Copies of this chain bind each other. A is one copy, B any other.
Amino acid sequence: MRIVKTAQERKNEILDAAEELFAAKGYDNASTNDIIAKIGIARGTLYHHFGSKEEILDALVERMTREGIDRAKTIVRDDRYPILERLTGILSSISVKGGAGKEIMEQMHKPHNALLHQKMQERLINGVVPLIAQLIAEGNESGIFETKYPEEAAEMIMIYGNIAFDDNENLTPKQKQKKGKAYIYNIEKMIGAKAGSLEKSLLRFF
């Protein structure tokens, strides 16, 4: 008797396997055969649920980024907190962004994961940049920031943040800390925030 599951269950099962395998071997080197072997299904079954290997990757990227983006959204909208706090909240969620998918993040900058990396980056940027931009614009109006280009500043913050805190395994803790400080310092200057205001607010998160 063959085992039958709902499409949703099976899809998740496939994504779970893909996530592990892509993290361990990279997208290029993990084959669809590896996936089906891992969960014991036939080739046809895999392609019944996903149209191609890349479609699996897309679904996985979607699943991996959804949580982070949703969290960022709720942070931005929660006006119980001042703008500064909400901004630092997002920034810290960017550089942490590990949590569950930490090991995949660590593998991501490796060459054989270029596609995964690019797709995640694109989704994170599209999802989070508008949120940061909105916050900066708000801060602009309320007088705590001052910049002519909130949208572009947000892009710069997000893109750099995403790349710079990515391939950092070879840095000492001290270097990492310096890099983080410099990041905050540069952001403050760029959006015209009072020197030290972001850093101060960021400290409250730890």
Interface residues of A (CB under 8 A from B): 54, 111, 114-115, 117-119, 147-149, 151-153, 155-156, 159-160, 163-164, 179, 181-183, 185-186, 189-190, 192
Contacts and interface: CB of A to CB of B under 8 A. Distances in A.
A156 B186 contact: yes
Contact of A155 (B115, B117, B119, B160): B160
A186 B190 contact: yes
Contact of A111 (B119, B149, B181, B190): B119
A151 B175 CA distance: 12
B114 A153 contact: no
A195 B189 CA distance: 13
A159 B149 contact: no
B111 A186 contact: no
A164 B160 contact: no
Contact of A159 (B148, B164, B179, B189): B164
Contact of A182 (B111, B115, B152, B183): B152
Contact of A189 (B111, B119, B190): B190
A155 B155 CA distance: 15
Contacts of A183: 152, 156
A204 to B, nearest CB: 22
Given A156-B156, A192-B189, A149 B182 contact: yes
A185 B150 CA distance: 11
Contacts of A152: 179, 182-183, 185-186
Given A111-B119, A149-B181, 10 more contacts: A111-B118, A114-B114, A114-B117, A152-B183, A153-B182, A156-B183, A159-B160, A159-B163, A159-B164, A190-B190
